[in-house]
Amino acid sequence: MVPLENDLEQLIVENRGVVLYFATNSCSVGEALEPKVKALLNEKFPKLVFIFIDMNASPEFSANHQVFVEPTILLFIDGKEFLRKSRHIGVGELEMAIERLYPLAFED
């Protein structure tokens, strides 16, 4: 079941840190990258919420966030977009970018 767009917006606002992963089931790059991104978040950034957005099932939500290529990763902290990566995304590059923001968002 695809979450409703209002539900997705609510998740972004309600959670301190959210990673939106935009792709389709027909994108081989997106399919290959998704498990790597999930593993990175689980290992290094467990407080971030991961949400997969199927661009075919949620075209309006994708357009509202100006996502027109796949895969695209958006990182939201406190409801605001802090990071956007599209197309050729390296896991190491993504890790370094999140490492800079994560401590600021989740200081204890």
Q: Go through the domains of the chain in sequence order and give each one's CATH number.
A: 5-78 (3.40.30.10)
pLDDT in tens, 38-67: 999 999 999 999 999 999 988 999 999 999
Instruction: Check residue 108 and give its pLDDT.
Output: 60
**pTM beyond cutoff 0.85:** yes
Looking at residues 65-93, what average pLDDT do you find? 94
pLDDT the model gives residue 26: 83
In the DSSP assignment, the letter for residue 73 is E
How far apart, in whole angstroms, are the C-alpha atoms of residue 83 and residue 106? 16
Q: How many residues does the chain have?
A: 108
